[in-house]
């Protein structure tokens, strides 16, 4: 299983640096997890990318439909009191944005359940915190 934060998940749907690499990498992966917050964040990001040209406006409905279909096959980590407490804990340890603390806490909850996984993000602070917590990192870099 691979846990993806929103930045990597979004690369499947928007054409930006690293998108082709991520699509290729994920084409053979069965089992992607992310935070439930990713649903809203990806839609908001796709809407924001449309005027900038990363997504042609006529393609928005197609991208939204594709993401909605794929979302049903992702393991979405639901927000819960346990997750919020864990996010608070990691935010006290590392200088993370709130959504990144939620992503890290979500991945740590999976990891605590002994789920074999890799953690992926484009955010260096989040990757450093994940590594400090002992999460194995997805190895990828922009070509």
Q: What is the CATH number of the domain that holds 105?
A: 3.40.50.1010
Q: pLDDT of 107-142, one tens digit each?
A: 999 999 987 889 999 999 999 999 999 999 988 765
Residue 118 to residue 17: CA distance in whole angstroms: 21
Could you tell me the residue range of the domain that residue 19 belongs to?
Answer: 2-132
Asked if residue 96 belongs to a domain, the reply is yes
In the chain, the number of structural domains is: 1
Residue 49 to residue 38: CA distance in whole angstroms: 16
Asked if residue 55 belongs to a domain, the reply is yes
Give the model's confidence band at 96: pLDDT under 50 very low, under 70 low, under 90 confident, else very high.
very high
Asked if residue 87 belongs to a domain, the reply is yes
Predicted pLDDT of residue 108: 96
Asked if residue 68 belongs to a domain, the reply is yes
Higher pLDDT among residues 60 and 82, named by residue = 82
The residue written with tokens 């930045």 in the block is 7
Asked if residue 70 belongs to a domain, the reply is yes
Q: pLDDT of 28-37, one tens digit each?
A: 888 899 998 8
Percent pLDDT > 70 in the chain is 87
Asked if residue 142 belongs to a domain, the reply is no
Predicted pLDDT of residue 95: 95
Asked if residue 113 belongs to a domain, the reply is yes
SS3 per residue for the chain: CEEECHHHHHCCCCCCCCHHHHHHHHCCCCCEEEECHHHHHHHHHHHHHHHHCCCCHHHHHHHHHHHHHHHCCCEEECCCHHHHHHHHHHHHHCCCCHHHHHHHHHHHHHHHCCCCCEEECCCHHHHHHHHHCCCCECCCCCC
Asked if residue 138 belongs to a domain, the reply is no
């Amino acid at each position: 299983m691979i846990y993806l934060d929103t930045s990597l998940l979004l690369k499947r749907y928007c054409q930006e640096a690293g998108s082709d690499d991520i699509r290729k990498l994920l084409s053979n992966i069965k089992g992607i997890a992310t935070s439930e917050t990713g649903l809203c964040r990806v839609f908001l990001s796709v809407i924001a990318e449309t005027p900038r040209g990363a997504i042609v406006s006529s393609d928005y409905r197609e991208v939204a439909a594709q993401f909605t279909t794929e979302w049903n096959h992702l393991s979405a980590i639901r927000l819960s009191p346990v997750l919020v407490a864990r996010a608070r804990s990691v935010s006290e340890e590392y200088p993370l944005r709130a959504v990144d603390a939620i992503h890290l806490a979500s991945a740590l909850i999976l990891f605590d359940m002994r789920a074999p996984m890799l953690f992926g993000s484009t955010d260096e602070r989040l990757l450093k915190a994940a590594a400090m917590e002992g999460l194995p990192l997805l190895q990828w870099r922009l070509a």
